[in-house]
Amino acid sequence: MKRSVTAAELFAAAEPRLELHWVVDSQAARNRVLQGCDQQPEDQLNAPTRQALAGYLNLVHPNQVQVIGREEQTHLDTQDAKSRWATIASIMANQPLAIVVSDAQTPPSDLQEAAEENRVAIWRSPHSSYANVNFLQHYLSRVLAESTMLHGVFMEVFTIGVLITGESGCGKSELALELITRGHRLIADDAPEFTQISPDVIDGTCPETLQDCLEVRGLGILNVRQMFGDAAVKANKFLRLIINLQIPDNRQALAELDRLQTGANTRKVLDTEVPHITLPVLAGRNLAVIVEAAVRDFTLKMKGIDAASDFLERHRALLAQQRQH
């Protein structure tokens, strides 16, 4: 799922933090759309494809939101009339989502006129250009990041973001409820949303309509925050591990499970390979304890400690010693 944001939506999100004010405003400017990933708005199909999201005034690789600070305005003021006109024309030709004039400066009248003609918003901010660029880059990179929704229960277990998946009726919610009673935290039940915020980092959150809720068969919808307190829920967490609950088809499938190595693999979520463990669901097994053990083992493996590999290495050493005798 690829997201988009309009100039009006960006202004509404940034205004409380950056104290923005409209200088050039029109309905067309407010409706201008910036789309995430590699998509381009229809009115920007001829624009350069290497546009960054937000940054200081740049005409070589123009930003979608051009920030003009004191240095940029001084540069404009030192140009002769012909060069100044060419610079402003180049800014507008790249069709930015908006232009932010920092440090409480007054936007030049010729820049305002050009923005009105090209239906480009100009905002004024009392904050420094650094503060504007820093906030806008962070906000746009998150709101425009590619995202997806996965079926399962997303939890924080021993500070690790764990997605519990499995077929309907395999006991995901019951397991989540038991983990919550053991001190772990719920992030989202049924339909957590995951966003690629960097090449190796996926952030998981809960849709607003599902916040604090957990569905348990026979009990219906439970409000985890009200039942267990604020400490039982968390707004977001990076996805580090996927645990899939699987009900074996028959005894033969259970007998064929490798008892030394786990069902560890990886699953691709967006553009990142996430460690994936399959746990068989059997009568009498305490899945909450097993999940806790799986997360602890995963943490040790991240530190380079692999119990199965160590055991096999000791076994090989013992066999080699016996052959020598």
Active site residues: 151, 172, 190, 259
Which amino acid does the sequence have at 216?
V
Whole-number Å distance between alpha carbons of 20 and 17: 8
Q: Are strands 272-280 and 264-269 parallel, antiparallel or unpaired?
A: antiparallel
* 59 CB-near residues (< 8 Å, 6+ apart): 87, 90, 91, 94
Q: Is 94 helix (H, G, I), strand (E, B) or coil?
A: coil
Whole-number Å distance between alpha carbons of 30 and 11: 9
Helix (H) or strand (E) holding 104: none
Residue 90: CA count within 13 A, CB half-sphere: 14
Helix (H) or strand (E) holding 188: strand 185-190
Whole-number Å distance between alpha carbons of 262 and 88: 62
Whole-number Å distance between alpha carbons of 322 and 325: 5
Backbone phi, then psi, for 141, in 5-degree steps? -65, -30
